[in-house]
Amino acid sequence: MKPISALFPSLLTPQKVAITTHQKPDADAMGSSLSLAQYLSKKGHEVTVISPTNWAGWVNWMPGAAAVINYEQQKEKADVILENATVLFCLDYNDFYRTMTMATKLAQLTCTKVLIDHHQEPAVDSFHFGVSDTSKSSTCEMIYDFIKEAGDLSLIDLPIAECLYAGLVADTGSFRFASAHAGVHIIVADLKSRGLDHGKIHEGLYDNFLENRLRFIGHVLLHRMEIFYEYNTALITLSKSDLLKFQIKTGDTDGLVNYPHAIQGIKMVALVIDRDEERKWSFRSKGSFDCNTFARTFFEGGGHFNAAGGKSSDSLDKTVARFKEIIKTQSSLI
Ligand code: 5GP
Ligand code: MN
């Protein structure tokens, strides 16, 4: 994989660009894809954003979201766009398997493939150009860097600023995590100087749910959260019947994994959701417990040091029982 700067000469002529991101795109995945799309369109390229799956309703306020193609719903149309693309961007993921059913198609494409991502252990051989940097707070920060390196900061208008800010807020836990380094705040200052109304973005991300989601959180914290003080660990288990009863949709469970961290002494939180195809895990830690290694070792996953995900093909009961056995062996680390 060559450095991203080596890509710039080929962007001097108009390209057919496909921008892709991971399944169930979150604010950083969507924000980075949409901001890059708007920037490249301004530069004269023909750009389409393709998401492997659907996304949370609260992402829809983002400028450009209405034009995003859902691969699961419009596979034929998306396949044609991918086949005709001259440049493929892969944002906020670093291995094709994170795009679910789109993965085989992406691997087969012969166009120029570009990675911009901040997760650990990138599949660098899959990409011709790119930047993979785990010290970056978010992929949105990296898109800002990309535009800056191209000498085009003046092209960042309000819609682009809004998309970038959404990813910065979401991936830094509202500027709380260690990843919110000084450079992040300098970017925010620049976005503010371009007219950004930051309060509007926080509302779009965090005050944009339906009543059922808040009732669901109440139910989960009361009945579905277990605390293991001896291991400084909390576990939330979400069954299919709970999801059905509260009419939970994509994105409604985002952020739930952070709630138990409000309890004194809790250093690690695990949340498992019973999905049709798999049991999907989220792991969040404070301090020195490495969620990425934990997810990779025990649950076929990965991510960042303090935030990672994984999966299991066992039943919900079995995967929860396995987790409870595993944390006993990890207790010295938590
Ligand atoms: P979340 O818990 O929000 O789904 O994911 C937390 C972090 O871990 C995100 O950065 C996400 O990209 C990553 N992640 C989630 N699931 C997986 C997985 O199955 N494999 C890998 N490599 N990373 C994952
Ligand atoms: Mn991200």
CA distance 147 to 163: 14
Which residue's CA lies nearest to atom 2 of ligand 1? 282
Return the ligand 1 atom nearest residue 310 CA: 19
Q: How many domains does the chain have?
A: 2
Alpha-carbon distance of 6 to 326, in angstroms, equals: 45
Mean pLDDT calculated for residue range 163-175: 97
Instruction: Check whether residue 120 and residue 253 sit in a common domain.
Output: no
Is 70 inside any structural domain?
Answer: yes
Same domain, 60 and 201: yes
The residue whose CA is least distant from atom 3 of ligand 1 is: 282
Indicate whether 262 belongs to any domain. Answer: yes
Q: Percent of the chain at pLDDT above 70?
A: 100
The CATH number given to whatever domain includes residue 139 is 3.90.1640.10
How far, in Å, is the centroid of ligand 2 from the Cα of 115? 13
Measured from the alpha carbon of residue 29, the closest ligand is 2
Residues 46 and 126 in one domain: yes
CB 58 within 8 A of CB 70: no
Final residue in a domain of this structure, among 173, 206, 239: 206
pLDDT value at 9 more than 90: yes
How many helices (H) does the chain have, and how many strands (E)? Answer: 11, 13
* pLDDT average, residue stretch 196-223: 97
Mean pLDDT taken over the chain: 97
Q: Which two tokens stand for residue 91?
A: 């944002």
**Which of 57-61, 149-153, 188-192 has the least mean pLDDT?**
57-61
Expressed in angstroms and rounded, the spacing between residue 51 Cα and the centre of ligand 2 is 15
What is the reported pTM? 0.95
Q: How confident is the model at residue 202 (pLDDT cuts 50, 70, 90)?
A: very high
Same domain, 81 and 144: yes
> Is the pLDDT reported for residue 334 higher than 90?
no
Taking only Cα atoms into account, the Rg of the chain, rounded to an integer number of angstroms, comes to 20
The predicted-structure confidence for 278-302, as pLDDT tens digits, reads as follows 999 999 999 999 999 999 999 999 9
CATH number for position 275: 3.10.310.30
Instruction: Identify the H or E element spanning 183.
Output: helix 182-193
Query: Mean pLDDT across the stretch 212-218?
Result: 98
Residues with CB under 6 A from ligand 1: 22, 119, 282, 301-304, 307-311
In this structure, the answer to whether residues 222 and 165 fall within a common structural domain is no
Domain of residue 34: give its range.
Answer: 2-206
Q: Which atom of ligand 1 is nearest to the CA of 299?
A: 19
- How many Å lie between the centroid of ligand 2 and the Cα of residue 165? 12
In the sheet that holds 129-132, the strands lie side by side as: 2-3, 129-132, 112-117, 87-91, 16-21, 46-51, 69-70
Looking at the CA of 136, name the nearest ligand: 2
Whether 248 is covered by a domain: the verdict is yes
- Over residues 246-262, the mean pLDDT reads 96
On whether both 197 and 221 belong to a single domain, the answer is no
What pLDDT is stored for residue 232 in this prediction? Answer: 97
Establish if 334 belongs to a structural domain.
Answer: no
* Cα–ligand 1 centroid distance for 125 (angstroms): 20
| Across 219-231, average pLDDT | 98
Ligand closest to Cα of 307 equals 1
User: Residue 331 pLDDT > 90, yes or no?
Assistant: no
- For 57, residues 6+ apart whose C-beta sits below 8 A from its C-beta are 208, 249, 250, 251
Residue 223 pLDDT level (bands cut at 50, 70, 90): very high
